[in-house]
């Protein structure tokens, strides 16, 4: 799950905040997705290890997401995940609850000869008062986040395309229930915790036509700084989490109703679990303004 | 729709979004901690040289030479040197002066809590499936020495506080015996950076505390000697830079602090802590538990099973009563497993496991004081430090507060560990896999709750020293106690018996406080 905290905005969606696909004007797409992510090994700092008192950590996510085409070059996306965590061994209490409401605005400011450039801004705020520092079984970090992202895509007329993006994620300080904690070797006598900012970048290649989309991708998530999981300790929101993920995404949407799926695997990391993730989603596209002209 | 208007609106919307996204929260990553103001004691505690020490036979056991007179050439030279030192104070040094100005015992107690947190890591399992025991001779190897768990930290903080207190009682004796005035009272041209009282400056109370604290902490945390060296030097130097002491005040204080620290450490070396992890005794303990009716003795719930924490810590030397008293403070037997009382307590936990409220989780987390923390004794030392500071206690009265609370808490830990390994009672999590913890499961028997005992003892002492805080500290102790029920690692009877016994243990320290000479 440590990964989840960083990638909670990349589920399996029709129009994702990290692609260059747009809903046309006056249409919207509602996506309901289910994600299953689990790991039985994690990186304690750089040491890859198992933990028999966690066994396999599993995070499941049910997510509702709505993408709205305001114009053909401007989409708005909102999402809300419900998350369950569990561990197959040990005595740590499992968690569940609504995590963070996310909102995105995606704007295509250049679109010529198959090349599009897109600016995306997003923000998220926790939707419930979940406990952020009972990791790895917390459902999130309680941060407010703001993300700025640039997405470039080139699509050949054959339908083959390549996408690249990079983003910077501002993360707010959080408040925990305890009033002291260690960050690095320093004891902080306060309940306020500084969570490091993060960035990500990704490259994707695929094929798309009216009904089908299929792509493979690699992405890298990193905090800009932070401390590490202490020897034999549990993770903490201040950790410098890093991960490299490879994955496949596919979508089949011949008409209004469609499906999508995603498989992702963390190949390298620090202070995160080596998660294998599966997602499946149901898509429903509709016109919300019949008279829109 | 008007196309131009539309595109303008779009751009404005986009810009607004960007602006909002990057300004809704501050980009600063600095976390503000509560700052401690400069201590300005409300009393001199002139007769503290007559207060009863813990280890020393009297406040004059360690000799301190008479200082040179204020009119002597040596002293005049020291004053001249002090002025030179003060002339070059940098802003960073001024910060250090103010930091240490919050109080010597106050800061060293805080440092010790930080070290406890850094070292509060249970050893990782090795390739053979065993948990290696930390090695004091190789403190920075994996696992690091010490594993500063609650009994270890209770002891380290007790010794630290006792050494500070005994050293300060001695220092007060010599201060008022020799009556050397503060440098700025002798030479009006010295403008001290911190408040100056009529407290005699020889030997320096800051140097006394620094040296005594250093002596204890380097023994308790042998991997931190470079860190402690730097703190020691910074502390002593801050007093010169601030114009509070001349060099000979510091030198005499350091010698006194070192000597008292060594005497206190002599007790530590023979208090039985070295034998507190005698795992060979657990077979007999389990046999005894079965004999007295504990039908399912405690078992480690970790994989692989981890040897229980310090099974013979109950035999470590106590502070405020003798070793024979420990067994008399042992609480009544817990309910028989399967009895109606047991079932009732278990049902409470099953119900919390199913529907723990957010407030219960908050209380459990606030008091969790688990791995990577300064433990419950650290939590209560922090409370004691805050109260002593808020009440403008003198250096010696602050150290006395720590010593009374610290020794009471180690005594509580000893009594608690005695009960835990006498009854060897299983944790609720062992009895039902439906009970999972929201704070982390300690690896030792359940009855009684350590948090409850530490908290009862600390609250008893703090309520005596700060009578107006009684309701507050008692409520804190109750909350710390029930937090272990809410965190799903203790039955209610563990907590109630632990809290009551903790108060009884604390009362021994209160009896001492009433006769140590400080309340006359």
Task: Quote the minimal CA–CA distance from B398 to chain A in Å.
Answer: 20
Question: What would the mean pLDDT of B233-257 be, rounded to a whole number?
Answer: 98
SS3 A74: strand
Does the pLDDT value for residue A5 go beyond 60?
no
Contacts of B230 in chain A (CB under 8 A): none
**Nearest one of B178, B180, B159 to B70, comparing CA atoms:** B180
Q: What is the ipTM of this complex?
A: 0.94
B232, B210 Cβ separation under 8 angstroms: yes
Q: What tens digit of pLDDT does each residue of A18-36 get?
A: 787 888 899 999 999 999 9
What pLDDT is attached to residue B19? 53
What pLDDT is attached to residue B517? 98
- The minimal CB distance from B437 to the residues A71, A91, A197 is found for A91
What pLDDT is attached to residue B1? 35
Residues facing residue A163 across a β-bridge: A153, A204
- List of residues 6+ apart from A89 with CB closer than 8 A: A52, A53, A54, A55, A56, B303
What pLDDT is attached to residue A7? 41
Task: Quote the minimal CA–CA distance from A52 to chain B in Å.
Answer: 6
Does the pLDDT value for residue B73 go beyond 50?
yes
**Is the pTM higher than 0.90?**
yes
Band of the pLDDT at A8, cuts 50, 70, 90? very low
How many other C-beta atoms can be found within 10 angstroms of the C-beta atom of residue A236?
Answer: 24
User: Phi and psi at residue B118, in whole multiples of 5°?
Assistant: -60, -35
Does the pLDDT value for residue B17 go beyond 60?
no
What pLDDT is attached to residue A20? 76
Does the pLDDT value for residue B145 go beyond 60?
yes
B144, B124 Cβ separation under 8 angstroms: no
Does A131 contact chain B (CB < 8 Å)?
A: yes
Does A92 contact chain B (CB < 8 Å)?
A: yes
Question: What would the mean pLDDT of B233-252 be, rounded to a whole number?
Answer: 98
Q: What tens digit of pLDDT does each residue of B123-132 get?
A: 999 999 999 9
- The minimal CB distance from B441 to the residues A89, A91, A173 is found for A91
DSSP H/E element including A126: strand A115-126
Question: What would the mean pLDDT of B49-61 be, rounded to a whole number?
Answer: 98
What pLDDT is attached to residue A1? 37
Looking at chain B, which residue has its C-alpha nearest residue A149? B18
What pLDDT is attached to residue A288? 87
- The minimal CB distance from A170 to the residues B13, B27, B441 is found for B27
**A57-71 and A276-287 as β-strands: parallel, antiparallel, unpaired?**
unpaired
Supply the DSSP symbol for A18. T
- CA separation for the pair B452, B429 (Å, rounded): 19
- CA separation for the pair B425, B277 (Å, rounded): 19
B447, B453 Cβ separation under 8 angstroms: no
Contacts of A105 in chain B (CB under 8 A): 13-14, 17
In the block, which residue shows the tokens 């359940």?
A: B446
What pLDDT is attached to residue B28? 80
Question: What would the mean pLDDT of B489-515 be, rounded to a whole number?
Answer: 98
Q: What tens digit of pLDDT does each residue of A175-204 get?
A: 999 999 999 999 999 999 999 999 999 999
**What percent of chain A lies above the pLDDT cut of 70?**
93
Band of the pLDDT at A14, cuts 50, 70, 90? very low
Looking at chain A, which residue has its C-alpha nearest residue B375? A180
Contact A93 B438 (CB under 8 A): yes
- The minimal CB distance from B31 to the residues A194, A230, A232 is found for A194
Mean pLDDT of chain A: 92
Question: What would the mean pLDDT of B179-184 be, rounded to a whole number?
Answer: 97
Contacts of A131 in chain B (CB under 8 A): 361, 365, 438
- List of residues 6+ apart from A78 with CB closer than 8 A: A65, A66, A101, A102, A103, A104
Q: Is the dihedral of CA B270, B276, B282, B286 positive or negative?
A: positive
Question: What would the mean pLDDT of B285-310 be, rounded to a whole number?
Answer: 98
What pLDDT is attached to residue A23? 87
Band of the pLDDT at B26, cuts 50, 70, 90? low
B299, A47 Cβ separation under 8 angstroms: no
A143, A171 Cβ separation under 8 angstroms: yes
In the block, which residue shows the tokens 């959080």?
A: A174
Does the pLDDT value for residue B246 go beyond 70?
yes
Q: How many CA atoms lie within 13 A of B166 on its CB side?
A: 29
């Amino acid at each position: 799950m440590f990964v989840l905290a960083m990638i909670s905005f990349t589920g399996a969606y029709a129009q994702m905040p990290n692609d260059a696909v747009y809903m046309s004007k006056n249409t919207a797409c509602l996506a309901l997705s289910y994600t299953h992510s689990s790991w039985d090994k994690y990186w304690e700092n750089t040491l890859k290890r198992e933990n028999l008192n966690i066994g396999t950590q599993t995070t499941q996510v049910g997510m509702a997401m709505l993408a709205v085409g305001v114009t053909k070059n401007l989409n708005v996306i909102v999402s809300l995940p419900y998350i369950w965590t569990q561990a197959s061994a040990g005595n740590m209490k499992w968690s569940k609850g609504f995590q963070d409401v996310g909102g995105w605005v995606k704007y295509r400011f250049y679109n010529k000869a198959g090349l599009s450039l897109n600016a995306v801004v997003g923000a998220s705020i926790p939707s419930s008062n979940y406990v952020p520092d009972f990791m790895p079984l917390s459902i999130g970090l309680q941060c407010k986040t703001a993300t700025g992202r640039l997405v470039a895509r080139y699509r050949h007329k054959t339908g083959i395309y390549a996408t690249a993006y990079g983003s910077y994620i501002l993360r707010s300080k959080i408040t925990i229930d305890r009033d002291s904690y260690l960050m690095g070797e320093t004891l902080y006598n306060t309940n306020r915790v500084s969570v490091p900012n993060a960035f990500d970048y990704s490259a994707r290649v695929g094929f798309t036509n009216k009904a089908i989309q299929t792509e493979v991708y690699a992405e890298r998530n990193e905090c800009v700084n932070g401390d590490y999981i202490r020897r034999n300790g549990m993770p903490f929101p201040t950790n410098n989490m890093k991960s490299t993920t490879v994955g496949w995404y596919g979508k089949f949407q011949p008409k209004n109703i469609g499906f999508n799926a995603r498989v992702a695997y963390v190949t390298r990391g620090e202070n995160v679990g080596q998660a294998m993730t599966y997602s499946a989603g149901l898509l429903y596209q509709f016109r919300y303004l019949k008279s829109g002209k | 729709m008007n196309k131009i208007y539309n595109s303008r609106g779009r751009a404005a919307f986009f810009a607004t979004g960007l602006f909002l996204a990057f300004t809704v929260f501050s980009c600063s990553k600095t976390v503000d901690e509560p700052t401690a103001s400069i201590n300005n004691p409300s009393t001199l505690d002139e007769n503290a040289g007559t207060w009863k020490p813990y280890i020393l036979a009297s406040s004059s056991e360690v000799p301190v030479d008479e200082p040179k007179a204020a009119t002597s050439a040596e002293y005049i030279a020291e004053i001249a040197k002090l002025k030179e030192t003060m002339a070059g104070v940098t802003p960073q040094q001024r910060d250090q002066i103010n930091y240490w100005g919050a109080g010597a015992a106050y800061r060293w107690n805080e440092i010790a809590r930080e070290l406890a947190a850094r070292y509060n890591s249970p050893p990782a399992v090795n390739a053979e499936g065993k948990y290696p025991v930390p090695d004091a001779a190789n403190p920075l190897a994996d696992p690091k020495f010490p594993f500063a768990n609650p009994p270890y930290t209770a002891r380290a903080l007790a010794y630290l506080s006792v050494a500070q207190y005994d050293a300060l009682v001695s220092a007060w004796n010599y201060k008022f015996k020799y009556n050397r005035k503060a440098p700025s009272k002798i030479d009006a041209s010295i403008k001290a950076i911190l408040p100056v009282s009529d407290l005699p400056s020889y030997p320096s109370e800051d140097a006394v505390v620094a040296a005594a604290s250093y002596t204890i902490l380097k023994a308790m945390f042998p991997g931190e000697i470079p860190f402690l060296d730097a703190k020691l030097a910074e502390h002593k130097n801050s007093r010169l830079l601030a114009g509070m002491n001349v060099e000979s005040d510091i030198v005499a204080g350091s010698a006194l602090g070192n000597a008292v620290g060594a005497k206190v450490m002599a007790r530590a070396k023979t208090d039985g802590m070295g034998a507190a992890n005698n795992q060979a005794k657990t077979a007999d303990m389990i046999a005894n538990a079965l004999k007295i009716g504990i039908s399912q003795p405690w078992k480690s719930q970790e994989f692989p099973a981890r040897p229980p924490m310090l099974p013979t810590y109950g035999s470590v030397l106590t502070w405020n009563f003798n070793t024979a008293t420990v067994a008399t403070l042992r609480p009544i037997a817990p309910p028989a497993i399967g009895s109606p009382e047991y079932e009732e307590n278990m049902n409470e936990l099953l119900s919390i496991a199913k529907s723990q409220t957010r407030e219960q989780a908050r209380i459990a987390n606030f008091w969790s004081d688990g791995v990577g923390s300064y433990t419950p004794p650290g939590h209560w030392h922090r409370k004691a430090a805050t109260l002593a500071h808020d009440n403008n206690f003198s250096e010696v009265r602050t150290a006395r507060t720590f010593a009374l609370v610290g020794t009471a808490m180690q005594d509580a830990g000893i009594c608690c560990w005695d009960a835990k390994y006498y009854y060897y009672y299983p944790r609720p999590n062992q009895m039902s896999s439906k009970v999972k913890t929201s704070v982390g499961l300690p690896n030792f028997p359940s009855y009684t709750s350590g948090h409850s005992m530490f908290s009862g003892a600390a609250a008893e002492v703090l309520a005596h020293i700060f009578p107006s805080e009684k309701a507050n500290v008692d409520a804190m102790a109750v909350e710390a106690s029930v937090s272990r029920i809410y965190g799903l690692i203790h039955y209610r009877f563990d907590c109630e018996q632990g809290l009551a016994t903790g108060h009884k243990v604390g009362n021994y320290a209160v009896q001492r406080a009433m006769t140590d000479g400080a309340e006359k």
